[in-house]
Amino acid sequence: MEFLNEVELDETVKAQLAEKFNQTLQKTLDEKLAEEVSGLKAKNDELLAEKKAAQRAKEELDAKARAEKEEIAKKQNDFQQLYESQKNEADSLRKKIEEMNHAVQRQTITGEAAKIASALTKDVAKAKLLEKEISQRLSLVENEIRVVDDSGQLTVSTLDDLTAQIRANYPFLIDGIQAQGGGAARSQGRADVGGKEISRSQFDEMNQAQRARFFRDGGKVIND
C-alpha cells in the first residue's frame, strides 16, 4: 500500500481505500484458494474413482480367474472320473473276455478229452474218469491242442502218444483190457501206493495224486 503514501489524500480516505483494497485482495485470494481447493478435491475424487474402478476391475479379474480355475478343476475331476469309469469298464470287459476265452479253451480241451475217452471205453463212468485224466494232459496253444506233462509243461508228444500212455496207465478203464497179476498188496486202512499190485477197493480209496504216482511206479490194479 506504499503507493497511497505518494498520493495526497485525506488519511481517512487513504484508510478506506487501503481497507477496500485489502478486502478485494483477500476476496481474490479466497476465491483463488477456493478454486484451487475445489480443483484438488475434484482431482482427488477423480483419483478415488479411478482407484475404485481399478479395484473393481481387479476383483472382477480375480473372480473370473477363480471361476476359470474352478471350471478347469471341475473338468479335470470329471475327466478323471470318466477315465476311471472307462478304465474300470475296460478292465471288467477284459476280464469277461479272458473268462470267456478260458471257458472256450476248457470246453475245447474237455471236448477233445471226451472224444479220446469215448474211443477207449463205452462205459460212461469210466469215460468220465478217463476224460478227467486226459484233460489234465492237454493244453490249447494258438488254437491247437497240445500235450503237456504232469507239471503242465509242453511236450512233443502227439495225441496218439497220449492215448497210448492212457492205455498203459489205466488198463482197468479201457474196454477189452483186463488187469493182470497175482496176490495184491494190502494194508489196514489206506493202500500202500508204493506196492506193485493193489485191489480195486484199495485203489478206490486213493486220491488222484496217489493214483497217478501208483501208475507211474508201474503199479497194477486187480479185482477183489
Same domain flag for 46 and 136: no
The per-residue pLDDT for 3 is: 52
Same domain flag for 60 and 132: no
pLDDT tens digits, 113-130: 999 999 999 999 999 999
Same domain flag for 14 and 86: yes
| Residue 109 lies inside a defined structural domain of this protein | no
| Residue 138 lies inside a defined structural domain of this protein | yes
What residue numbers bound the domain in which 128 lies? 122-222
| Residue 63 lies inside a defined structural domain of this protein | yes
Same domain flag for 55 and 146: no
Same domain flag for 80 and 39: yes
pTM for the full model?
0.44
pLDDT tens digits, 86-100: 889 889 889 989 888
**Among residues of the chain, what percentage have pLDDT more than 90?**
19
Same domain flag for 133 and 195: yes
Same domain flag for 77 and 128: no
Same domain flag for 214 and 135: yes
Which of these three, 28, 63, 97, is where a domain ends?
A: 97
pLDDT tens digits, 183-209: 333 333 334 444 467 777 777 777 777
Which cell is 135 given? 484233460
| Residue 106 lies inside a defined structural domain of this protein | no
| Residue 148 lies inside a defined structural domain of this protein | yes
| Residue 107 lies inside a defined structural domain of this protein | no
Q: How many CB atoms lie within 10 A of CB 136?
A: 15
Same domain flag for 68 and 159: no
Same domain flag for 27 and 71: yes
| Residue 65 lies inside a defined structural domain of this protein | yes
Res. 14 pLDDT band, cuts 50 70 90: low
Q: How many CB atoms lie within 10 A of CB 213?
A: 15
Same domain flag for 148 and 74: no
Question: Which of 150, 152, 128 is closest to 140 using CA atoms?
Answer: 152
Same domain flag for 134 and 93: no
| Residue 117 lies inside a defined structural domain of this protein | no
Domain count, the chain: 2
